[in-house]
Amino acid sequence: MAASNNIYSLSVEASTSQLAKVRDFVAEHAERLGLSEKEIGNIRLAVDEAYTNIIKHAYKNIPAKPVEIELGSDNSHLWISIKDEGESFDPGAYNEPDIKQRIKNKQRGGMGVYLIRKLMDNVQYNRSGHMNEIRMIKHL
């Protein structure tokens, strides 16, 4: 694999108040790589969904928990890594949401993982020690 060019990182607390800042961080760097407006929009949304899931599920809305975001690229890929120290997510146990059924049951949520998979080219979940990582990759 080709060496990464610059890697940019952002440390934030797990809080929905930081969502706009996180989205703008990835959008700013994606823009520098010359991605189209649509692709940048897709990346903003995928990162929003991943970070929101960390706040709600990994940390269960407990404030002041750490989240590390890294963005890097080589000649053919853009990758975004988001790390947390909360409860891990088992992607194997995840089922595609049946929106019609969820509406009937007045349920919400469960759509983020599905959206991330639709919006990015490759999504990996890693667990190392107490650290969870979601790594989202977009082909350039």
Partner 1 sequence: MKNFGISIREVENIRVLDISGELDAHTASQLENSLKALIDQNEICIIVNCKGLDYIASAGLGVFMAYIEDVRGMGGDIKLTNMNERVYNVFDLLGFPTLYDIHDDESEALTGFNK
Closest CA to 20 of 39, 42, 47: 47
Secondary structure (3-state) at 38: helix
Closer CB to partner 1, 41 or 72, in the complex: 41
Give the pair of three-digit tokens for residue 23.
Answer: 């989205």
Measured between alpha carbons, how far is 4 from 126 in angstroms, rounded to an integer? 20
Closer CB to partner 1, 74 or 96, in the complex: 96
104 forms part of the interface with partner 1 (CB under 8 A): yes
Please select the residue that binds partner 1; options are 35, 39, 49, 58, rule is CB under 8 A: 49
114 forms part of the interface with partner 1 (CB under 8 A): yes
Closer CB to partner 1, 55 or 71, in the complex: 55
DSSP 8-state assignment for residue 23 = H
36 forms part of the interface with partner 1 (CB under 8 A): no
